[in-house]
Structure 1
Amino acid sequence: MAAPPRLRVLQVITSLAGGAGLHALQLAQQLDPARFEVLLAYGPGYPLDAVVQQQRLPHRLLRWQRRLRPWHTAQGLMDLARLLHGGRFDIVHAHCSLAGAATRVLAPLLCARPQRLLFTVHALAAHAGQPAWRQALLTGVERALDGLTDRYVVTTQRYRDELQQRGIAAPDKVSVIPLGIAAPTPLPRTEARRRLGLQPDDEVVMFSGRLEPQKGLPVLLQAWALLQPQRPRARLVIVGDGPQRAACQALAGNDRVLWAGWQPDAAALMSAADLFCLPSLWEAYGYVLLEAMAAGVPIVASDVGGIPEALAQGRWGRLCPPGDAQALATLLLHTLADPAASAATVAAARRHVQQEHGLHTMVARHAQLYEQLAGAGRPAAASAPPGEVHP
């Protein structure tokens, strides 16, 4: 008996920035090629773009940017329209706000055959960092797009509940699929510290992420200024890059902060840290928290968005009010001063990640959802190359 035709899957994301970009890349890499033909479409300009090129993953570049610049956004929309026009996709899976809105509007108009439209809510476009009128406007847009959405995917139960509470989607349209990671192979602590230019006896607090307002890095730097006089051996290591780097470097203004830039093996460098801090002002989940737990590093993070659920309401790490530099400094000091108190928490968190957040499990859940939505026994599109690789 012949194997059924592969399902053709289009992954569309605004860019490969941050945890959302890594998530979309993982699906493109890991979905079983015997069952799925996957094409990844995204806006360029971020380090993970190089992985797509190196692995020669089928992809298309969209000329939009994460920031809404009219000319670039229009060019990206034209690129997406050309990709969708006549496209024979069984599953169209969109990620992030711009890609999510554009794909859900254009795909039903332009695709040559019926397809199922998924939207992964990595973070709601309307969030607490915006004025009320903007939140209301963006929530209204999402409500209007619900009729074009066959299925939502979220990483936490909290976001499933929030979609219902905001009147965006009914719970039976929302699938909760926790993030998954390939457990990194950490570098030996001495090697990780050598790579980062740290001394063996330094007390190391690490931040890893994109340097943009969402991540709350100025709050961490304010807390650091309060902490330093009491912990003279402490070093703050900032792994990552982004538009706030220059402003944050000016705010830091001392040599006890190490700016490591973007690192392709950031997860492996976690072993250099005595503590990991994620001071986000809003956050759907915080993918990097899984990397810190897998590396066995104590965590202090903001009590905001999906972070409390990711940390089991404080079982896997300490939670701090967002934007409160004094409270953050206090928690950092307490954690550094009593590493033995964190030992049991760290061990339990590592086991939790291994059991509940494996990459294979996350990908398998998406594959099952795709096949369910495509319809048991429904003919799939004829097998064809999913797209050329663009330089």
Structure 2
Amino acid sequence: MPRIAHLHDDHTSGDLSRYLAFLGRDAALGATAEHHAVRVSRFAAGAVSLRAEVIVSHLPLRLQSLPGLMALRARHPRATLIHVEHLHCEGSAAAARNRGRQRAILRSAYALFNHVVALSTPQANWMRRHALVNPGQLSVIPPCADLAPFAALPDPRCPVRHIAAIGRLHRQSGLDMLIEAFSVVSNPDARLDIFGDGPQRGELRALARHDLRIRVHGSTTRLAALRRADAIAIPARWQPSPLAAQEALAAGRRVLHSGRDSLSELQGPGLVTVADLSVAAWSRALSDVLAETDSVPRLAVAGAREPTVQGWQALLGRLGCRKTAKSSTFATI
């Protein structure tokens, strides 16, 4: 059976960690290949020796990571190399200081791989539009995680009173705008809890200090945050992965989101798209959600995993990585 090494440098329990855990534990995927997560340095991917037919990089692509990826390619000339793009998307590219330089770095990095996986159709369209990767070497496979713990959470309270925002405290997350918008909301019983850490932590706490209904907490798991919340807000300025919204929907929570990048593909009840990233638009949307008295149906867990499972099965079959009678070896050094 083919063995697949998934390279990452994640030390948290965030989206990537849960996605890799899903790939390693899903029964349907495990029937055709063995998926192993291997932690490496993003700057020295080629330092690890692997015996695997397929090597999948989940590493963030930067200029400094190119030498390590080149060494990885040189060290494993017969392996099929795949890159999954978790970091870059149209929104992040628009925010880059030097877009031309960034596109050149991405083209150089993607050229080292046999195949590139986008997490959403908008992300793939952005790659095609700027000729970052050969269209024949590009696939779309949405991420997934184990949604059963989220589906098991108690139903949220109605009407909505506690809204949570979970993620990195960075300009990308749009939490500065969210705090200002929530401050305009007149409902005295409403609460906004922000969970996470990052470079904007001090700034966000300063913005929130004038409204006792808003609290900026440290990092916690998304499961713990959703247990306390009746709805979540994702006012992201760019968002490569839809996993946060998917988990909230599985928990039966309403999701207010910006519709940027991967979020534009979200469909179903419980979703509120606020494409205008302004204080006025978001304060209106927050007030509307706080006035909701009906619950929303939960995302079907079984159906949510199918696009991910089928996507990987189709890609591995296309690349010739099929189940064989003789097991291959896999080792790390």
Residues 347-390 of structure 1, C-alpha deviations (whole Å, 9 max, x = no match): 2xx34x435422x7624542453354244588988424x337xx
Corresponding position of 1:128: 94
Aligned residue for 1:231, secondary structure, equals: coil
Aligned residue for 1:223, secondary structure, equals: helix
Change (3 A) 1:10 1:380: farther
Aligned residue for 2:125, secondary structure, equals: helix
Corresponding position: 1:15 with 2:15: no
Corresponding position of 2:215: 258
Q: CA shift at 1:38, angstroms?
A: 4.2
Aligned residue for 1:299, secondary structure, equals: strand
- Tell me which amino acid in the other structure corresponds to 1:373: L
Q: Count how many residue pairs are aligned between Structure 1 and Structure 2.
A: 324
> Is residue 278–residue 300 contact of structure 1 (8 Å, CA) maintained in 2?
yes
> Is residue 275–residue 336 contact of structure 1 (8 Å, CA) maintained in 2?
no
Corresponding position of 1:357: 304
Aligned residue for 1:233, secondary structure, equals: coil
- Tell me which amino acid in the other structure corresponds to 1:88: R
Q: Distance in 1 between matches of 2:176 and 2:190?
A: 18
Aligned residue for 2:100, secondary structure, equals: helix
Q: Which has the higher helix share?
A: 1
Residues 195-217 of structure 1, C-alpha deviations (whole Å, 9 max, x = no match): xxxxx998111111222221111
Corresponding position of 1:370: 316
Residues 232-283 of structure 1, C-alpha deviations (whole Å, 9 max, x = no match): 001111233333223211221043123443333x336525323210011111
Change (3 A) 1:187 1:21: closer
TM-score normalised by structure 2 residue count: 0.83
Relative to structure 2, which stretch is displaced further, 138-147 or 203-212?
138-147
> Is residue 277–residue 301 contact of structure 1 (8 Å, CA) maintained in 2?
yes
> Is residue 178–residue 357 contact of structure 1 (8 Å, CA) maintained in 2?
no
Corresponding position of 1:299: 255
Change (3 A) 1:185 1:316: closer
1:26-105 alignment to 2 at 5 Å? 26-30=22-26, 36-42=33-39, 61-62=40-41, 76-77=43-44, 80-84=45-49, 87-98=50-61, 101=66, 104-105=69-70
**Higher relative contact order structure (alpha carbons within 8 Å, sequence separation ≥ 6):** 2
Aligned residue for 1:97, secondary structure, equals: coil
TM-score normalised by structure 1 residue count: 0.72
Change (3 A) 1:34 1:311: closer
Change (3 A) 1:21 1:244: farther
- Choose the corresponding residue for 2:115, options 151, 162, 187: 151
Structure 1: stretches of 5+ with no match in the other structure: 1-5, 43-60, 65-75, 194-199
Corresponding position: 1:176 with 2:140: yes
Corresponding position of 2:179: 221
Corresponding position of 1:321: 275
> Is residue 253–residue 270 contact of structure 2 (8 Å, CA) maintained in 1?
no
- Choose the corresponding residue for 1:334, options 288, 295, 302: 288
Corresponding position: 1:238 with 2:234: no
> Is residue 271–residue 297 contact of structure 1 (8 Å, CA) maintained in 2?
no
Change (3 A) 1:377 1:356: closer
Residues 309-364 of structure 1, C-alpha deviations (whole Å, 9 max, x = no match): 1247xx65222235412211111111212334xx5xx32xx34x435422x76245
Change (3 A) 1:37 1:246: same
Aligned residue for 1:149, secondary structure, equals: coil
Residues 214-237 of structure 1, C-alpha deviations (whole Å, 9 max, x = no match): 11111111111111xx10001111
Identity of aligned residues (%): 21
Corresponding position of 1:211: 169
Q: Which segments of structure 1 move beyond 6 Å, counting only runs of 4 or more?
A: 377-381
Corresponding position of 2:223: 267
Residues 116-153 of structure 1, C-alpha deviations (whole Å, 9 max, x = no match): 1111122326522223xx22111112223343221111
Aligned residue for 1:145, secondary structure, equals: helix
Q: Distance in 1 between matches of 2:266 and 2:270?
A: 8
Change (3 A) 1:378 1:274: closer
Q: CA RMSD in A?
A: 3.2
Aligned residue for 2:194, secondary structure, equals: strand
Corresponding position: 1:277 with 2:222: no
- Tell me which amino acid in the other structure corresponds to 1:218: D
> Is residue 195–residue 218 contact of structure 2 (8 Å, CA) maintained in 1?
yes
Q: Distance in 1 between matches of 2:200 and 2:10?
A: 18
> Is residue 82–residue 115 contact of structure 2 (8 Å, CA) maintained in 1?
yes
> Is residue 164–residue 225 contact of structure 2 (8 Å, CA) maintained in 1?
no
Q: CA shift at 1:189, angstroms?
A: 5.5
Q: CA shift at 1:90, angstroms?
A: 1.0
